[in-house]
Each structure stands twice: as C-alpha cells, then as structure tokens.
Amino acid sequence: MKNSIPLDKLNFLVLDCQATGPTPETHHLLEIGWTVANLSRPNPNFVLTCFTCKLPEGGKIPAAVTRVTGIEPEDLKSGRSQASIWKKLQRLSKKICQANGTTKCPTIIHFARYEEPFLLHLHQKFSAKKTFPLEIICTHEITKRLLPHLPRKGLRATAGFLGYSVPEWRRSEHHILATEFIWKKVIAMLKESGVTTWEQLKQWSQQPQPKTDTMRIVVDALCIKGSGLRVF
C-alpha cells in the first residue's frame, strides 16, 4: 500500500450489513450495501448500492428484526444470492485498489465487529483460495479514541452528536450515509491530531485507548442535553 497517500485523497469503501443476528454460522444476511467515499474527488461512477439477500430454505426473519429494520419476508423474494453479491463486492474492491494503488481495499464500517464476521464468512464460502480483499477500519473504535467522553458511541449517537440525523429504520442505505458522514468528520479530527495517512491511522488505532472519567462522562452528557443535541 502507498502509505504516504493522505486519507483525504484515498478512495474508501463504506459498507453496512443487516442480518437476523450477529453470527453468520447461525444467522442470515438480510441486506448488504456500500458506496465509495473520497473527500477530495467525488466520483459519480461510484453510487450507493444496496442488495437484499435471499434467505436459505427454511430461513426466517425474527419479528424483533422486522420491527427495527422494516424488512419483511416479501422484501427478500427478489433478493440476490450471497455468491453474486460477494462477486460484485470483490470486483468493486479491486477497482478501488487499482484507483488507490493499494493491495487491499480500505473499508470503513461503524462497529465492524458486527459486519466483519459476515464478510469473512462470505470470503471463506466463495473465495477462500484468494486473499481477503478488505482492510477494515472501524469508526466506532476511532470514536472511542477521538471522543472518549461521548456517553454513547453507536452509529445513531455518534452521527447525531456530529450533526447528522439517522432515520429510525435500521437499513443499510441509512447506515452507509451516516457512516460516510462520520468518516468525513473523523478525517478532519484525525488531521488535527497529526494523523493524515492510512498507515498512520493503523498505527494510531493500535495505541491504548484514553482512560475516561465516569463523572466527566455524566457532566458531558448533561451538557449535550442542555445544548439541544440528541443523546441516544
């Protein structure tokens, strides 16, 4: 990877998944989507793309998942196979690598601990002989370091704190747009901290997280409420 390329010059894949639960061995993908973000060179050829996924035979959507996502069984009847979706994602990641001059595709996910197991599962299932194409960075983990006193650091809370309102339905399209917004804000904050390249970000992310003071968190939360900002 060209480590000297500034973060605001790189093309990043921004990705989100929705599923029936957190583990790919026992749960099923419902939706997956992505877009490409570049702070300095918006590319009209890269658009936000979302696919619903076909459920395996006998697969069901729990009522609780439908309540928060709005995804009904009818929505998945025209869904794509996981194999075809993974193939599209592989092709796009290769294009991003070519545009960046990188060996892996820089990928931004908020709370990557949820999505990464599903992505690795798709890789093992459909392209195990190849190298996993994505290099994932988690904006939730970055937020924990940049905004240690923010009471909650989930997608809705972080986006709301930074000035972006996320719709109630938990759909990939909504979460991709919110993650892209957070990422652009994060790049600016990282720059102020002297972190300007992808390699610097990876090194910075491996440093110990700053310790937080419980009383300071409570005070900050009260200040946020008083300012009219939403606390989630």
| CA distances from residue 26 to 59, 86, 122 in whole angstroms, order as listed | 10, 19, 14
CB 121, CB 24: distance < 8 Å: yes
Give the Cα separation of 119 and 218 in Å (integer).
36
- Is residue 141 scored above 70 in pLDDT? yes
For residue range 36-92, what is the model confidence (pLDDT) as tens digits?
Answer: 999 876 665 568 999 999 999 889 999 999 999 999 999 999 999 999 999 999 999
For residue range 109-126, what is the model confidence (pLDDT) as tens digits?
Answer: 999 999 999 999 999 999
CB 20, CB 218: distance < 8 Å: no
Task: Give me the mean pLDDT over the 141-163 stretch.
Answer: 95
In what helix (H) or strand (E) does residue 106 lie, and over which residues does it extend?
strand 105-109
Please report, rounded to a whole number, the percentage of residues in the chain having pLDDT higher than 70. 87
Give the Cα separation of 115 and 89 in Å (integer).
14
Domains delineated in the chain: 7-226 (3.30.420.10)
Task: Give first-to-last CA distance, the chain, whole Å.
Answer: 38
Stated pTM of the model = 0.87
Instruction: Tell me which of 136 and 215 has the higher pLDDT.
Output: 136
